[in-house]
């Protein structure tokens, strides 16, 4: 099989995977009477995969976990793509992330006032030089499972972070709240996911206090259907669309 044929075959596989997941998302969303955004998580996948899925389906929302990987991919790909940063966020990377990627649609892993301030500085700098750029949407990530290895603020800290964004970050838009459910709860299909219920509880409290509607970003490949049933309007699916994570030595960032 020629390289061109291989690329075409890969594009068709990706498109089929995406349509299958999108169909499942839409079925649950319709039953729940809500709109749901599907973010195709493309970490460790080459830019050629993202471009193929973009061209085959017209999908626009893609998620990345690593700042450097996103900064390398974004310039290679259409500016119409809406990037979501969903990985662990370091304070010293916030300013450049917000400044250097005009089509960064959202940062979903904001978990401190300090990081919000740094994102604000970066986006303000971008908007000063490029007034046509959009404000940056942010989700406050909450550690609802209590697992030490998980990123995210504590539930009781979310309110103050949200207040800081609303009062002190004019180039940021508080879009919602995000969580990553524990593996054990994500695999338990018989009981409602307590991590998702906890995030909804925190979101409802903050929304009521500040009088704003906030989204819930929760649910991945193994648990997005239950997440939608519990109110998620933004789900992040990678493996079911792009396939498994490649061995470390085979990780490719560029289109080659």
Domain ranges of the chain: 3-242
137 near 116, Cβ under 8 Å?
no
What's the confidence (pLDDT) of residue 150? 87
Separation CA 123–CA 101 (nearest Å)? 9
In a 3-state reduction of DSSP, which class is residue 231?
coil
What's the confidence (pLDDT) of residue 181? 84
Separation CA 142–CA 140 (nearest Å)? 6
What's the confidence (pLDDT) of residue 186? 64
Can you give the C-alpha Rg of the chain in angstroms? Answer: 18
| CA end-to-end span of the chain | 17
Question: How do strand 37-41 and strand 61-64 relate by DSSP bridges?
Answer: parallel
Separation CA 107–CA 89 (nearest Å)? 9
In a 3-state reduction of DSSP, which class is residue 227?
helix
Separation CA 82–CA 105 (nearest Å)? 5
> ∠77-84-135 over CA atoms, to 5°?
95
Separation CA 23–CA 191 (nearest Å)? 24
254 near 76, Cβ under 8 Å?
yes
Question: CATH number for the 3-242 domain, one of 3.40.1030.10, 3.30.390.50, 3.20.20.10, 3.10.20.600?
Answer: 3.20.20.10
What's the confidence (pLDDT) of residue 75? 97
Question: How do strand 215-217 and strand 172-178 relate by DSSP bridges?
Answer: parallel
Identify the burial level of 143 via C-beta atoms within 10 angstroms of its C-beta, where 0-12 means exposed, 13-18 middle and 19 or more buried: buried
Identify the burial level of 254 via C-beta atoms within 10 angstroms of its C-beta, where 0-12 means exposed, 13-18 middle and 19 or more buried: exposed
Separation CA 2–CA 219 (nearest Å)? 38
What's the confidence (pLDDT) of residue 195? 96
Phi, psi of 201 (to 5 degrees): -65, -45
Determine the length of the chain.
256
Which residues of the chain carry a pLDDT beneath 50? 248-256
């Amino acid at each position: 099989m020629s390289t061109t044929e291989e690329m075409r075959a890969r594009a068709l596989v990706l498109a089929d995977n995406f349509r299958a997941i999108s169909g499942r998302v839409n079925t649950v969303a319709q039953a729940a009477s809500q709109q749901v955004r599907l973010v195709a998580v493309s970490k460790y996948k080459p830019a050629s995969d993202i471009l193929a899925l973009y061209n085959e389906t017209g999908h626009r929302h893609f998620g990345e976990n690593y700042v450097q990987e996103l900064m390398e991919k974004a310039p290679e790909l259409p500016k119409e793509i809406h990037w979501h940063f969903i990985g662990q966020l370091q304070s010293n990377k916030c300013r450049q992330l917000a400044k250097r990627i005009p089509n960064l649609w959202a940062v979903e892993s904001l978990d401190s006032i300090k990081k919000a301030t740094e994102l604000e500085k970066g986006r303000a700098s971008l908007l000063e030089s490029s007034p046509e750029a959009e404000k940056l949407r942010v989700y406050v990530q909450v550690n609802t499972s209590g697992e030490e290895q998980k990123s995210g603020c504590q539930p009781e800290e979310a309110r103050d972070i949200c207040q800081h964004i609303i009062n002190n970050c004019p180039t940021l838009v508080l879009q919602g709240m995000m969580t990553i459910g524990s593996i054990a709860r994500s695999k338990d299909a018989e009981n409602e996911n307590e991590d998702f219920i906890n995030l909804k509880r925190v979101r409802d409290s903050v929304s009521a206090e500040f009088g704003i509607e906030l989204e819930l970003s929760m649910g991945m490949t193994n648990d997005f259907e239950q997440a939608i049933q519990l109110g998620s309007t933004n789900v992040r699916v990678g493996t079911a669309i792009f396939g498994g994570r490649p061995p470390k030595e085979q990780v490719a960032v560029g289109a080659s």
